[in-house]
Amino acid sequence: MPHTWGPKSGLQPVPTEASPAQRARVLFVCIGNSCRSQMAEGFALSYGKDVMEVASAGLSPAGLVWPLSRKVMLETKSIDLSEHWPKSLGEVPGPFDLIVNISGLPLPPGLKAKEVRAWAVEDPVLGDESVHIKVANQIESLVQQLILDLRQRKH
């Protein structure tokens, strides 16, 4: 007997990737684009390609993605940030539908989007592995909620 979709079957359709015109353009911003915004970008790329095109940048970009952030994301979330690098706001072309400010600082006046959200997330850059794990868990939850919000807007 063939499987059918729906609650009785226990099978749920996997969202298909939307065309670029249908996806929200989302920019995650933190201070150095070394920890928090890189984590957010990694989660968004892993979980939300069906509803968003994603980028990240820093107000004052660091020289590298923080090694402990890369380690925690790979070992605890199976998300590889080894190909990521810190970018300035000028390196990520807009316009954006949504900017998520994780920096805790005001955004530059010229940086605009249809919507701006602020997430209060501790900067883990000087913290130990447990701080990075706590921050990764918090950002993962916030990104998952954002993805759900964007999926609801599509329907």
- What residues does each domain of the chain span? 20-154
Query: Which of the four CATH numbers 3.40.50.300, 3.90.1010.10, 3.40.50.2300, 1.10.730.10 does domain 20-154 have?
Result: 3.40.50.2300
Tell me the pTM: 0.85
In contact, 86 and 58? CB cutoff 8 Å: yes
140 in helix, strand or coil? helix
Which residue spans within 1-155 are E strands per DSSP?
24-30, 52-58, 96-101, 113-118
Q: What is the predicted pLDDT for the residue at 113?
A: 92
Q: What is the predicted pLDDT for the residue at 19?
A: 53
Cis-peptide into 95, omega within 30 deg: yes
**How does pLDDT run along the chain (155 residues), one tens digit per residue?**
333 333 343 434 444 455 555 899 999 999 999 999 999 999 999 999 999 999 999 999 999 999 999 999 999 999 999 999 999 999 998 899 999 999 999 999 988 899 999 999 999 999 999 999 999 999 999 999 999 999 998 76
Checking phi first, is residue 6 left (phi over 0); if not, alpha (psi -120 to 50) or beta? left
The residue to which tokens 């996997």 are assigned: 14
- Greatest alpha-carbon span in the chain: 60
In sequence order, the 6+-apart residues with CB closer than 8 A to the CB of 138 are 121
What does the block give as tokens for 102? 């994780």
